[in-house]
Chains A and B, each alone.
Chain A
């Protein structure tokens, strides 16, 4: 599903912050991406999301060389990827419901076709009574759950989550990770970037991608 071959990245003329990354992510797998602050976790997530181009190496996504994708192909690719940002990136002028429904709306789906599905997912993440609230009045945890619901609503083939449990209590964190594991069992590949060692220990079967000094160490 995802293949990195000798991928390196530098910003401008600066040092290479990611070096010689070579790994694959197979369909239906679950992996934690971890490492100290500033190790490049978010940068690697952005490479996976194709919002950054590597300065060297080849990234193959869903069987296609990312450097050869035109804009339409990139759009089609992103519709197969769900993403949870560390800073949530909810649109402030849209309600929780509208934010979660956004990935379906941009695909020109009719609201009648997805309304019940969005309601159900919002109830599941505990935002059933906050559907019509704007992000400004949501707590950090509620925003995070809304961002997760937005990533899940399209049933993505690849889910990228950057610190998805950073603002929720441990119970909700476990619940969300279990949801990700359920998704993985239904065929979705999941990459969760986190600092939370305690959380990772609770899911010992998960693969670990550890970034340090610009290089990636994999623990299957």
Chain B
């Protein structure tokens, strides 16, 4: 693909004036896009920019409202994925469509009929044998450099194997144009390298590959040309060689943006949260976390890296008190040294008990003893703030639910990965969602809507949430705005520990960088931040330390300032021998 401008290069696909609307939302507006034969074309755009919609139109999932599709010079009407496969266009979706209990080869031949164009040698016969198909698959794998066992069941496969299978499934149907939707989102750096090798081999074989992505570095690495989408429109197509990441990012967002993540120095780090050798089960009753220990410090961001499904979710939920753990413990060190004792979260009895254990002192340093004092006098002393803690309070969080943890005065904020499934209620208004954390503060069993209303207004303003009103249902907002609502609410708790699982998943660049900034701000304010991320570049740039999880084990805790992507990538796939 030395000269794309050369007119003798054949066009495999032309999209002319494609428009697709969903209600009032214009997903694609007058898209004109050419795909050449034998090229790797990246489609770059933020979430919601219409890249997947355009490709879904091409693969027959959506019918366009307007416009034409031309394949190999002929205008075609694609009404279903079957039509598009017949035209040699195949798509691998972000969410795999495989039957778990089937083997690879069974999945490949599923839905295959004798009329389909295929590479099967006996396509004219009414039957086909799995054996033949398996042979075909093995040949194909050799040709392009895949690794796939045709008789392996899907439920035994890793994410990367499943993806390979999806690609093989499509190639098996004899496609010339392969569309990959966010193929690298779930892979480790090593797996991405492998995938890119395969893609290059397919290109050599004369196939066109379209990769939908929003990762700039991958675009630069793999593609010949880049088509940039913004707000449903195709902004430009540029040759990769003639551009750079900065320029692409600016085109993608439509304004100048700063791609730098500012990392402040740790703010007086002190041990805050101890996780000691915990074992946690997942929803299926399997061990997801197998003996994890670490310490989170205040004023520091602890990153958690790992292939998705390595136990990140279970770990955070266990700390939050959402998931039981039988062995191990989680303890919280409440920074109380030299701070006054209060009755907010302690009873008089408890205060008296702690005093008898010599836990308190007066401002002048003399130890507190309530011996011989009346309750009223003790209350007065405490309420006047004259009684101080000797040292930090150590609180065992084991077996407590989130309500009980808060009852002890320990504020753990948590931004879970499934925002609408946990953390927010989709069909409630923004105000009602703000109230989730504070509704118990109302008087006489009633809720107080005034404070959440004020908080909502503040968050909408400060985090620039775009919403018609504060009464709008949260599920009607875009992903980025939903996340802003959730993160804003959790920050407003003024927590001691702030945990976020994949907080930028599905967010556009600007929102993502806003979230990074907010996380760093929390750290500067002395909060212990735990950030579970998937983009290793971001983890390395944002965090202070990175804990790597692999299959429920900690395979390493590295200093983010002195590590590389490769080192983390290796740790992510390192399977420790369990003794």
A, B co-complexed: no
Residue positions of A touching B, CB distance < 8 A? none
B residues contacting A by CB (< 8 A) are none
